[in-house]
Amino acid sequence: MMAAATQLADLLAEENAALAALDLPRVAAMLPDKQRATAELDAAQADSAAHAGDPATRLLAQRLLILAEQNRALLERAITVQGRVIAVIARAIPRAVTTPRYGLNGSLAHAGRPTAFAFSARA
């Protein structure tokens, strides 16, 4: 169990460094290794009762908790930054250009929002 927990802790530390640098492609590439390390730790849990009182086990568990909390905060930050980037790009895309419309007198019609009919009709 100690080897599996150490491997997961090391992967979390590496992923946290990538998240801190906003190196999202590297973070995504690490996902299979992280999933494998998590599965190995889950499989090793059966042996954990024998090591529960061991000081090294407690230190490793504490390290994993700290790294997991940092990972959560860094992932939230990365998601927020990515959302902002997408919003900037979406706002930068020009609106669809429409063909010009002509009004009743032959001049270009107002390109803005059309006036409500009830307010533009004259009795």
Tell me which residue of 114, 108, 111 sits closest to 98, measured CA to CA.
Answer: 111
Pair of tokens at residue 78: 């990365």
In this predicted structure, what is the pLDDT of residue 58? 87
Torsion of CA 80, 16, 24, 43, to 10 degrees: -110
Domain for residue 41, yes or no? yes
Residue 71 lies in a domain: yes
The C-alpha atoms of residue 80 and residue 75 are separated, in whole angstroms, by: 9
Q: What is the mean pLDDT of the chain?
A: 83
**102 phi/psi in degrees, rounded to 5:** -110, 140
Q: Tell me the residue range of the domain where 74 lies.
A: 2-92
Checking if the pLDDT of 11 tops 90, the result is: yes
Q: Is residue 102 part of a domain?
A: no
pLDDT on residue 89 = 86
For the cut 80, the answer to whether the pLDDT of residue 9 exceeds it is yes
Most confident of 43-47, 73-77, 86-90: 73-77
Distance between CA 56 and CA 82 in Å, rounded?
38
Distance between CA atoms of 105 and 86, rounded to whole angstroms?
A: 43
What separation, in Å, do the N-terminal and C-terminal C-alpha atoms of the chain show? Answer: 86
64 occurs within a structural domain? yes
| 22 domain residue, yes or no | yes
E-strand spans in the chain? none
pLDDT the model gives residue 122: 54
- The whole-angstrom separation of Cα 40 and Cα 1 is 8
pLDDT at position 59 over 70: yes
108 within domain boundaries: no
For the chain, the domain total comes to: 1
- Interhelix angle 55-92/24-44, rounded to 10 degrees, is 150
Residue 109 within any structural domain of the chain: no
pLDDT at 110: 64
